[in-house]
Structure 1
Amino acid sequence: MSEIINETKIDSNFIDKWINEMLLNLGFSENIILFLKISTLTVLAFVIARIAHHVAKKILVRTAERAVKRTKSKYDDYIVNRKLLSRTSYLIPAMVIKPFIDWIFKDMEDLNLFLHNLVSVYFIVIILLMIDSTLKVVQDIYATKPYAKERPIKGYLQGANLVFILIGILTSISILSNVELLAVFTGLGAIAAVLLLVFKDTILGFVASIQLSVNDMVRLGDWVSMPSHNADGDVIEMTLNTVKIQNFDKTISTVPTYALISESFINWRGMKESGGRRIKRSISIDMKSVHFCTPEMIDKFKKVRFLRSYIDEKLEELKEYNQQFDIDESSLINGRRLTNLGVFRKYMESYLKHHPHISKDMTFLIRHLQPNEKGIPIEIYVFSDDTRWAIYEGIQADIFDHILAVLPEFGLKVFQFPTELSTDAGHLES
Structure 2
Amino acid sequence: MLSEYYATLSHLDPWMQSAISLGALVVLAYVLRFIVRLLLLRVLRRLAGSLPQGWMQNLLDARVLTRLSHIVPSLVFQAGVFAIPHLPSVAANIIHNVAVACTVLAIGRVIMAVLDVVQDHNEASLSSVPGTRSLKSYVQLGKLVTALIAAIIMVGALIDRSPLILLSGLGAMSAVLMLVFKDTILSFTAGVQLTGNDMLRVGDWLQMDQVGADGAVVDMALNTVKIRNWDNTITTIPTWRLMSESFKNWRGMSESGGRRIKRSILLDNATVRFLTDAEVRELSQIALLRPYLESKMQEIDAFNSEFARKAPDMAGEIVNLRKLTNIGTFRAYVNTYLKAHPRMRKDMILMARTMESTTNGTPLEIYGFTATTAWLEYEAIQGDIFDHLMAILPEFGLRAFQNPSGHDVTIALRQGEARMLSA
- Normalised by the shorter chain, which TM-score bucket? 0.7 to 0.9
Q: C-alpha separation between the residues in 2 aligned to 1:148 and 1:285? A: 45
AA aligned to 1:94 is S
Q: C-alpha separation between the residues in 2 aligned to 1:81 and 1:246? A: 31
Q: Which residue of 2 aligns with 1:24?
A: none
Q: Deviations over 1:161-183 (max 9, x none)?
A: 33332221221222223332222
Q: Is there any run of 5+ residues in structure 2 with no aligned partner, and where?
A: 411-423
Alignment partner for residue 90 of structure 2, among 110, 129, 133?
A: 110
Alignment partner for residue 332 of structure 2, among 346, 366, 372?
A: 346
Q: C-alpha separation between the residues in 2 aligned to 1:368 and 1:161? A: 59
AA aligned to 2:66 is S
AA aligned to 2:341 is H
- Write out aligned runs for 1:342-381 (5 A): 342-381=328-367
Moved more, 151-160 or 218-227: 151-160
Contact 1:82–1:133, Cα closer than 8 Å, also in 2: no
- CA shift in 2, pair 1:149/1:307, >3 Å: closer
Q: Which residue of 1 aligns with 2:67?
A: 87
Q: Give, in angstroms, the shift of residue 281 of structure 1.
A: 0.5
Report SS of the residue matched to 1:246.
strand
Correspondence 1:263 to 2:242? no
Q: Give, in angstroms, the shift of residue 299 of structure 1.
A: 1.5
Correspondence 1:394 to 2:387? no
- CA shift in 2, pair 1:237/1:342, >3 Å: same
Alignment partner for residue 60 of structure 1, among 22, 29, 39?
A: 39
Q: Deviations over 1:6-39 (max 9, x none)?
A: xx35x5554454112xxxxxxxxxxxx63x5554
AA aligned to 1:213 is T
Q: Deviations over 1:124-173 (max 9, x none)?
A: 11111111122333445566498773444343343333333222122122
Report SS of the residue matched to 1:333.
helix
Correspondence 1:179 to 2:165? no
Report SS of the residue matched to 2:11.
helix
- Write out aligned runs for 1:12-411 (5 A): 14-20=7-13, 34=15, 36-57=16-37, 59-64=38-43, 67-68=46-47, 70-71=49-50, 73-75=52-54, 78-79=58-59, 81=61, 83-104=63-84, 107-141=87-121, 144=125, 149-325=131-307, 326=311, 328=314, 330-411=316-397
Contact 2:338–2:350, Cα closer than 8 Å, also in 1: no
Moved more, 288-297 or 213-222: 213-222
- CA shift in 2, pair 1:296/1:309, >3 Å: same
Q: C-alpha separation between the residues in 1 aligned to 2:65 and 2:262? A: 57
- CA shift in 2, pair 1:249/1:106, >3 Å: farther
Contact 2:207–2:215, Cα closer than 8 Å, also in 1: yes
Q: Which residue of 1 aligns with 2:415?
A: none
Q: C-alpha separation between the residues in 2 aligned to 1:153 and 1:404? A: 50
AA aligned to 2:391 is A
- CA shift in 2, pair 1:194/1:363, >3 Å: same
Q: What TM-score do the two structures reach when normalised by structure 1?
A: 0.83
Report SS of the residue matched to 1:387.
coil
Q: Give, in angstroms, the shift of residue 254 of structure 1.
A: 3.1
AA aligned to 1:149 is G
Q: Give, in angstroms, the shift of residue 83 of structure 1.
A: 0.3
Contact 1:245–1:252, Cα closer than 8 Å, also in 2: yes
Q: Is there any run of 5+ residues in structure 1 with no aligned partner, and where?
A: 21-32, 425-430
Q: C-alpha separation between the residues in 2 aligned to 1:422 and 1:315? A: 39
Report SS of the residue matched to 2:406.
helix
Aligned-residue CA RMSD in angstroms? 3.0
AA aligned to 2:114 is T
AA aligned to 2:68 is T
AA aligned to 2:97 is N
Contact 1:225–1:265, Cα closer than 8 Å, also in 2: yes
Q: C-alpha separation between the residues in 2 aligned to 1:332 and 1:210? A: 69
Moved more, 297-306 or 199-208: 199-208
Q: Give, in angstroms, the shift of residue 270 of structure 1.
A: 1.4
- CA shift in 2, pair 1:215/1:99, >3 Å: closer
Q: Deviations over 1:65-121 (max 9, x none)?
A: 762575363446534656001111111222333345324485433332222111111
Report SS of the residue matched to 1:19.
coil
Q: C-alpha separation between the residues in 2 aligned to 1:307 and 1:250? A: 46
- CA shift in 2, pair 1:13/1:56, >3 Å: closer
Contact 1:301–1:307, Cα closer than 8 Å, also in 2: yes
Contact 2:187–2:238, Cα closer than 8 Å, also in 1: yes
Aligned length: 403
Report SS of the residue matched to 1:356.
coil
Q: C-alpha separation between the residues in 2 aligned to 1:108 and 1:101? A: 11
Contact 1:238–1:244, Cα closer than 8 Å, also in 2: yes
Q: What TM-score do the two structures reach when normalised by structure 2?
A: 0.84
Contact 1:280–1:379, Cα closer than 8 Å, also in 2: yes
